[in-house]
Structure 1
Amino acid sequence: MGTDRTFSTLLILRCQEGDRQAFELLVKRWHRKFLGFAFKLLKDQSIAADITQDSWTTILKRLNSLKDPEKFDSWAYRILHNNAMDWLRKNKKERDSIKGLAEEPQDNDENSTPVKIVRQLLKKLPEKERLILSLFYLEGHKIHEISTILNIPPGTVKSRIFYAREHLKKKYKEVNYENIK
């Protein structure tokens, strides 16, 4: 992981010097991760792709303002997060109609494996809880990185992770209790 971060840091430095090939490599290196993050926030692949593209434009414009290239990932995720939140605020009505169409019917026999149950339960958690668990467990971000991405104190990150896990455990127990009956 240290070598990976070092390579990204070198790419950032080259980008800041105006090297377009370095920026292309940077995009290849990070685009899939950014797209996945945007999808988790927006729940729509095409909107996530648009927001990710807009974020890359912002990243390119602001890259020279990044003082510490080693913090590129949390800095860039913050830009992406802000762009996604702006879109969600501006398009609340559209989002609500998409959400209604995207509801998946549940078939308890087919979706009864523990992993599928946990995935279904994650979808039912409030957005803040789902996001914090995804960043920590699925994306592998550290507490301080999540703090930067979401612009909240590290203590808040820790407490949100704790309460989100408790909420998930409670929902999991409810589902398992219903399956046992």
Structure 2
Amino acid sequence: MTSNKEIDAAIIERIKKGDTHAFRQLVDKYKDVSLSLACAVLKDKAKAEDVLQDVFIKVFHKANSFKHQSAFSSWLYRIVINTSYNELKRDKNHLKLEGIHSYEPLTNERTPIQNLKEEDQKKYVVLALEKLKPDEALVLRLFYLCDMPLKEVQKVTGFTSSKIKVDLHRGRKNMEAVLKNLLGNQINDLW
């Protein structure tokens, strides 16, 4: 069975030879997680989409610099995070509360959590992630949504393992508090 790393390596080699179809495959494979990471840092979907365009242009032009020492996803996510933080530095108005996805506001009526569709549960989780500090949201996304081991999160973010552990702990606690505020006692049924 071919591993994800081997598949990505083969695609990268095709990109190095100028294969635009291979590049499209890579973009399609990683665009959603990359957008989510950029949104976690920028808190603005439109800016995150702009950053993502810049990121994929960089990846196409710098494909020859990828050395296959780590997973392609780690290299890509590092570029996404760095480019997003650079955008924050350029734009001092980064405190917008526009989130990862433009959802209609949820009503104040409490629906029993058991009746919530999976899509609605995801909305609550996204809303909660938007309320977290950028580093906490980023680490939670990488660790849980991207299913990265701690060492890989460390490579991607450049954070120490102790900072990652603290951000995971605080992020989980803060996320739970936000979800309790949104869902009340029904939060226990969410998990």
Mapping of 1:1-181 within 5 angstroms?
A: 3-68=3-68, 70-93=70-93, 95-96=94-95, 98-99=96-97, 107-110=107-110, 113=113, 115=121, 118-172=125-179, 176=184
Distance 1:81 1:6 in 2: 24
Distance 2:32 2:181 in 1: 35
Using the TM superposition, give the Cα deviation of residue 3 of structure 1 relative to its aligned residue in structure 2, in angstroms.
3.2
TM-score (norm 2): 0.73
Distance 2:163 2:17 in 1: 37
On the 8 A contact 2:5/2:71 being kept in 1, the answer is: no
Does 50-59 or 126-135 show the bigger shift? 126-135
Aligned-residue identity in percent: 28
Distance 1:100 1:9 in 2: 36
Aligned length: 177
**Structure with greater helix share of residues:** 1
Distance 2:98 2:20 in 1: 42
Give the letter for the 1:148 counterpart.
K
Distance 2:78 2:131 in 1: 24
Runs of 4+ deviating beyond 4 Å: 104-107, 116-119, 170-175
Residues 24-67 of structure 1, C-alpha deviation per residue, up to 9 Å, x if partnerless? 32223222332232233323332221110101111122221111
Using the TM superposition, give the Cα deviation of residue 8 of structure 1 relative to its aligned residue in structure 2, in angstroms.
1.2
TM-score (norm 1): 0.77
Gaps of 5+ in 1: none
- The 1:108–1:3 alpha-carbon spacing in structure 2 relative to 1, beyond 3 Å, is same
On the 8 A contact 1:14/1:22 being kept in 2, the answer is: yes
- The 1:170–1:59 alpha-carbon spacing in structure 2 relative to 1, beyond 3 Å, is same
On the 8 A contact 2:40/2:130 being kept in 1, the answer is: no
Using the TM superposition, give the Cα deviation of residue 111 of structure 1 relative to its aligned residue in structure 2, in angstroms.
6.9
RMSD of the alignment, in Å?
3.3
